[in-house]
Structure 1
Amino acid sequence: MIEFATPLAFLLAPLPLVIRYVLPAHQETVSALRLPFFRRLAHAADVAPRAGAVVFRRTMLQNGAAILIWGLLVSALAGPERVGEPIVQEKAARDVMLAIDISGSMDQRDFRSAQGEPTQRLDAVKRVVGDFVSARDGDRIALIVFGTKAFVQAPFTEDLGSVRALLEQTEVGMAGPHTALGDAIGLAIKTFQSSTIEDRLLIVLSDGADTGSRMTPINAAAIAAGESIEIIAIGVGDPDGSGEQRLDERSLNDIASTAGGAYYFAGDETALSDIYTRIDAQKPRAVETTRYRPRESLAHIPSGLAAGIAFLTLAVLYASTLRRKTV
């Protein structure tokens, strides 16, 4: 489809006629030779003397070329454009951070799989969280793993396949045997600060109690709340355990409530899957949609035609002049 960017330029089309009929004609004083027998000379030449005889008259070729050239130049000024089909672009409107505990206690095989068989806690988590990541098409997702230290395994990206692949490569103990939950939340806050997206969600999954963070989890959650980061906490360990093996549900609950989120406990893989399904329903993917039509300027076409017509007209007039001189 062809459109004009500045159609008001067509109002310039009658400008030459306005100039011709409104403005006075250009006049110049030129030298002339006075002949006492001018009338007899004119009669002998069979011409009728008239005023303005020295004004050159344009030929039909010149008039036609001038009209075409002016019309093409006005069309070029109007900005003709070829408009393409609408293109829809979507970009993420929410950042989702996944913080996964990979401390030594995640090696326990007391978690029941969907088939009811004992399985390693981390293996079950990777299956469920991997499915959750794949279903979040449209969100930007980042992955943090933590043990004694917290590390950014994947920065914010819309390449969900890469996030899932990096999640699959994590192993128990890669970040140390202990649980630095507060440091993981602090690292998440720092990572969120590089984002310009306002809707921010942190999903923390842990199976133990914080045992070595430089910042307490509650203080970290309070800072997260100040940064408009919502925290959902998920516990997958044993609430009745002892020492570092005990799931600190109270801390996880306090973290979630401080940061405006919720706490969930999963005793097996099926319950964990249900939790992530619930989160997916409560926090559906959010995207910003942009529509635009690609535009290609065609102003060079009428401009080029105008230049071509002008060149051909001058060439024809020059050839005619040469013929007359030869004759």
Structure 2
Amino acid sequence: MPAWFTAFLSAFDLAAPLALLLLPLPFLAARLLPPERMGSSGALRVPATVVMGSARGDGVAARGRGRSFLIWTLWAALVAALAGPRLVLPATALPASGREIMLVMDLSGSMERRDFAIDGETVTRLTAVKRVGTDFIRRRAGDRIGLVIFANESYVAASPSFDTNTVARALDEATIGLVGRSTGIGDGLGLALKRLVPATSGEASDIPQATSKVVVLMTDGANNAGQTTPRDVAALAKELGVKVHTIALGPRDMSNADGEQDVVDAETLREISASTGGTFFRVKTTDDLIAMADSIDAIEGGRAKAPPVPLRQDLWPWPAGLALLCAAGLLVARRKA
């Protein structure tokens, strides 16, 4: 047999195979039901000689055979439609992890500094973060992932979603100055916790709760804006069971600033990650940035193939359409009779 026919047979299925038991029902009715008694019908009995005089016998017989064919085809098509023929097609199994990850990214003015390099060209810190971050996001298929950006103010650039391409696009479109130019680390982290743990606000959700909630916090400065302090929000994260990975961005920090302004507070970030069970990363170059993304991807691994959901393509409209055509043919034949 041709390969396409074999594939069709292997994918063919019936939603209600027991409906096929209805096929012999007209035969059983003809056998088991009592015949109609003479005189019980209102039809007029016409002598055979009259019938033969009005139409040739072979024409009557032909019309009778054609009508019987339409009736039986109609019945078989209806039964086939009731059986629910369909094709069960294989579906690609998607990775699933049960994790919910919020990326919290600094968008202060210091992210404009040109001290990173990509392909031998000096670029801003934000450009390097976008290049590595969008790749990291797209690799996290199977996670619900979102994005919070912060400076003077904080806002959710992308709500937690399985659509990693949309979240990556939101990161790529982030612009310095959109929410100010200062560094409100505490408020950014607090907003991420609010979106990760909506149950604290009494909101109901149809989305299953993630088994692991993670924040990836990246900044190149020290907290100098907002209403909360990073350490206080870290204590809340620990209480809520949210793990926070922290990334200190930039070649210098407060321990070796040498008079440079707006350097990263690496010590506070290290304390945040340690108190919440996360990991601290010190990123000074683009290579460090890439290594950091790979490390977090490995730490938050454990993705497995979710059970594939079979895709079903219904075929019942085809026999149902055939039954409709047969019914139309019987109606036309009756009008011509």
Same fold (TM over 0.5): yes
Q: Return the match for 1:175 from 176, 179, 182.
A: 179
Q: How high is the TM-score relative to the length of structure 1?
A: 0.69
Q: 5+ unaligned residues in a row in structure 2: which ranges? A: 1-7, 42-48, 50-62, 199-204
From the CA coordinates, give the structure whose radius of gyration is larger: 1
* Gap change, CA 1:24 and 1:225, over 3 Å in 2: farther
Q: CA deviation at 1:285?
A: 8.9
Contact 1:69 1:310 survives alignment (8 Å)? no
Partner of 2:46: none
Q: CA deviation at 1:205?
A: 1.0
* Gap change, CA 1:4 and 1:174, over 3 Å in 2: closer
1:203 and 2:216 matched: yes
Partner of 2:290: 273
Count of residue pairs the alignment pairs up:
288
- 1:220 maps to a residue whose letter is V
The 5 Å alignment of 1:226-245 reads 227-236=240-249, 237-240=252-255, 241=257, 245=262
What secondary structure is seen at the aligned counterpart in 2 of 1:294?
Answer: strand
Partner of 2:232: 219
Contact 1:105 1:207 survives alignment (8 Å)? yes
1:293 and 2:312 matched: yes
Q: Give the Cα–Cα distance (whole angstroms) in 2 for the partners of residues 73 and 215 of structure 1.
A: 69
Partner of 1:12: 22
Q: Return the match for 1:103 from 105, 108, 113.
A: 108
Q: CA deviation at 1:127?
A: 4.0
Q: Return the match for 2:83 from 78, 82, 90.
A: 78
* Gap change, CA 1:23 and 1:115, over 3 Å in 2: closer
Please state which structure has a larger fraction of its residues in helix.
2
Q: Per-residue CA shift, 1:65-97, capped at 9, x if unaligned?
A: 55444333333332344x274444758754432
Q: CA deviation at 1:189?
A: 2.0
Q: CA deviation at 1:252?
A: 1.5
* Gap change, CA 1:310 and 1:228, over 3 Å in 2: farther
The 5 Å alignment of 1:287-326 reads 288=306, 290-297=309-316, 298-311=318-331, 313-315=333-335, 318=337
Contact 1:138 1:285 survives alignment (8 Å)? no
* Gap change, CA 1:220 and 1:98, over 3 Å in 2: same
Contact 2:89 2:310 survives alignment (8 Å)? no
* Gap change, CA 1:294 and 1:192, over 3 Å in 2: farther
Q: CA deviation at 1:192?
A: 3.1
Q: How high is the TM-score relative to the length of structure 2?
A: 0.67
Q: Give the Cα–Cα distance (whole angstroms) in 2 for the partners of residues 87 and 262 of structure 1.
A: 37
Contact 1:96 1:139 survives alignment (8 Å)? yes
Partner of 1:162: 169
Contact 1:61 1:313 survives alignment (8 Å)? no
Q: CA deviation at 1:122?
A: 4.0
Q: Per-residue CA shift, 1:258-301, capped at 9, x if unaligned?
A: 33321111233322221112112333495755441332432423
Q: Per-residue CA shift, 1:105-161, capped at 9, x if unaligned?
A: 44556x464789986544543443344345445655433222222233344443255
Q: Per-residue CA shift, 1:178-231, capped at 9, x if unaligned?
A: 321110011112333568361443211123332333233233234334555432
RMSD (CA atoms): 4.0
- 2:236 maps to a residue whose letter is I
Q: 5+ unaligned residues in a row in structure 1: which ranges? A: 32-44, 46-57, 319-327
- 1:4 maps to a residue whose letter is L
Contact 1:208 1:244 survives alignment (8 Å)? no
* Gap change, CA 1:16 and 1:119, over 3 Å in 2: closer
- 1:162 maps to a residue whose letter is R
Question: What percent of counterpart residues are identical?
Answer: 30
Q: Give the Cα–Cα distance (whole angstroms) in 2 for the partners of residues 191 and 80 of structure 1.
A: 45
- 2:107 maps to a residue whose letter is I
Contact 1:99 1:143 survives alignment (8 Å)? yes
Partner of 1:39: none
Partner of 2:129: 125
* Gap change, CA 1:67 and 1:125, over 3 Å in 2: closer
Partner of 1:324: none
Q: CA deviation at 1:233?
A: 0.5
Greater CA drift, 12-21 or 152-161: 152-161
What secondary structure is seen at the aligned counterpart in 2 of 1:184?
Answer: helix
* Gap change, CA 1:179 and 1:27, over 3 Å in 2: same
Contact 2:100 2:144 survives alignment (8 Å)? yes
Contact 2:84 2:314 survives alignment (8 Å)? no
